[in-house]
Structure 1
Amino acid sequence: MYQIVRKEMLQSNIVLMEVEAPRVAQHCLPGQFIIAKTDEYGERIPLTICDYNREKGTVTIVVQTIGAGTERMMSLNQGEALEDFVGPLGCPSELCLEENLEETKKKKIVFIGGGLGTAPVYPQVKWLHEHGIEADVIIGYRNKDLIFYEEEMKSVAKNLYVTTDDGSYGFHGNGCMQLQALYDEGVRYDQCVTIGPMIMMKFVSELTKKLEIPTIVSMNPIMVDGTGMCGACRLLVDGQVKFACVDGPEFDGHKVDFAQAMARMAQYKTEEGRAKLAYEEGETHHGGCGHCGGDK
């Protein structure tokens, strides 16, 4: 069992949990994720690691209510425990690897986080800060009431730009508009990392391609099983089939086929759509999710 040592409501439907998981905390790196389960009947939920403390042996996750499984997880209180907490899974961010440190130090980096994507941006910026690399951060929300992690991000970012769609706080607009405004002011970046809703990462990647800024996206929004068995996170990257949970979750944003990934996500939600995907994708479909018949 994995005890919840701290629980904090970030928004009405978003909760932060610090979980006692010493082995995961010892080995995880920014960019990776875990799979958590409330009890033996609970849904296996892949969640990006938002922070970790090796000395305390804890890992921090942020959970948003999107279904029964996450609702049950959010109902747990401090002092209660999760039955399963498996990880670290996925590949760590290439920017947060010791062997790439000297090359990373040469880059001027900007992170763009949208909504819940702000949480997994934080450990990467924190890691860079701890290794003497300062990065700019843009975080975007629909309005002022939805903002979270602002103070945490301020403590590790060189410059923090907060945007709101309605202009109720910070820059009036979204992350793309803020990046364009900085570019128009003469600010140049060598690397962009963007994490958030699929549509946001798509538009950020389109803009950075035009501005000639290499861009990393995190495709964690499309993961379901988290171990490469179900095939739900299948996507095309530079024309090749990849699976976000085992090959990623980070990919070159300029090579991801966002149109295909977003259409596939929508189609995957219906029984007829899942069957059609299983037929069209053949051997690359996997099908271990239990919905398509490909696991039989």
Structure 2
Amino acid sequence: MFEIVDKELLAPGIYRILVKAPLVAAKAAPGHFVIVQAIEDGERIPLTIVSAQDDCIELIFQVMGVSTALLAELEPPAKLPALLGPLGIAPEVSPGEGTVLCVAGGVGAAPILPRARDYHQKGRKVVTILGARSKELLLLVDRLQEVSSELHICTDDGSAGHHGFVTDLIPEVSRRHKIEEVLAIGPLPMMAAVCKITKQLSLPTTVSLNALMVDGTGMCGACRVAVGGETKFTCVDGPEFDGHLVDFTGLANRLCQYREYEQTAYDGYRKERGECQCLNG
């Protein structure tokens, strides 16, 4: 059992939790993730390790369905029945002076923070573009500012920063900086749009994929994705891949397979608890 020692509401429907997991914290590196369960025999939820502090790991999640809603119900000192990790391949960052463009959308700010921090600590110049639907949903602004030489804010509704999408700013930023690589993390359509632009600009681009996962060892095949015409497994081969080689259309179709069932289950959950409005954020 893994104790939740701290919990914070970051934005409507988005939570930060600190979980006691000494063995995981000791081995965690930027880019690693864990798979957690909110209840016994519950659905497995993959979450990026945002940071490892002493014997605890920091996780950030958004309520999207029954499983994450159940996770949001837990209050310290509640315990998670299962936590597996660290999982995935932690990319190696070589010390240097090149500029990295980090592009984050929505909750993608959580997985991009440890990677941006790692680049910064290795001496790389980090320029970050952070986007969200509205000002209230912007995450980790101060922490991203600390590791970025420049931080550009975008909101869909214009309530903060640039009125528009993260993709609007990429050409202008790339003209002012000699970008060596791009890291994009966020909703699938956003990452696909970023990769379309960076391919035109000949900028190497890495994306972090959040696919369906069950066991976290590649045995179930639920997290498979086509990359450069080859089948890869997000849990063991990723979660980061060359964005210009990812079959975003195929992945989007796979992620939609269970959407109707998930929505039906979530509607039932909210009706049961009489919390339809508050969990919608």
Q: Is the structural similarity TM-score above 0.5?
A: yes
Specify which of 62, 71, 74 is matched with residue 72 of structure 2.
Answer: 74
Letter in 2 for 1:142: R
Aligned position for 1:111: 102
The answer for the alignment partner of 1:251 in structure 2 is 241
Distance 1:20 1:106, change over 3 A: same
What displacement does 1:18 show? 0.9
Superposition map of 1:1-296 within 5 A: 1-53=1-53, 56-95=54-93, 101-102=94-95, 105-184=96-175, 186-220=176-210, 222-225=211-214, 226-267=216-257, 269=259
Write the deviation string for residues 250-279 of structure 1: whole angstroms up to 9, x where unpaired.
0000111112211232235479xxxxxxxx
Large movers: runs of 4+ above 6 Å = none
Answer 1 or 2: higher relative contact order, Cα 8 Å, separation at least 6: 2
Classify the secondary structure of the residue corresponding to 1:35. strand
- 8 Å Cα contact 2:100-2:124 kept in structure 1: no
For structure 2, list consecutive stretches of 5 or more residues without a partner in the other structure. Answer: 262-281
Task: Determine the C-alpha separation between the residues in 1 that align with 2:91 and 2:109.
Answer: 15
Matching residue of 2:270: none
CA distance in 2, matches of 1:200, 1:93: 22
3-state DSSP of counterpart to 1:153: helix
Q: RMSD value over aligned CA atoms?
A: 1.6
CA distance in 2, matches of 1:22, 1:76: 20
Deviation at 1:106, TM superposition (A): 4.1
* Cα separation, 1, equivalents of 2:167 and 2:255: 23
State the AA in 2 paired with 1:111.
Answer: C
Gaps of 5+ in 1: 96-100, 272-296
Aligned residues: 260
With normalisation by structure 1, the TM-score equals 0.83
SS in 2 for 1:94: coil
Kindly indicate whether the alpha-carbon contact (under 8 Å) linking 2:185 and 2:207 is maintained by their aligned counterparts in 1: yes
* One-letter code aligned to 1:265: L
Normalised to the residue count of structure 2, the TM-score between the two structures is 0.88
Check conservation: 2:12, 2:136, Cα contact below 8 A.
Answer: no
| CA offset digits 1:127-147 (Å, max 9, x no partner) | 222333331111100111111
Indicate the SS of the match to 1:129. Answer: helix
Q: Is 2:2–2:79's contact at 8 Å kept on the other side of the alignment?
A: yes
Shift of 1:65: 1.1
Question: Which whole-Å CA distance do the structure 2 matches of 1:94 and 1:69 have between them?
Answer: 32
CA positional deviation for 1:218 = 0.5
Query: Does the aligned pair in 1 maintain the 2:212–2:222 contact within 8 Å?
Result: yes
Helix, strand or coil: the match of 1:135? strand
CA distance in structure 1 between the partners assigned to 2:12 and 2:129 by the alignment: 23
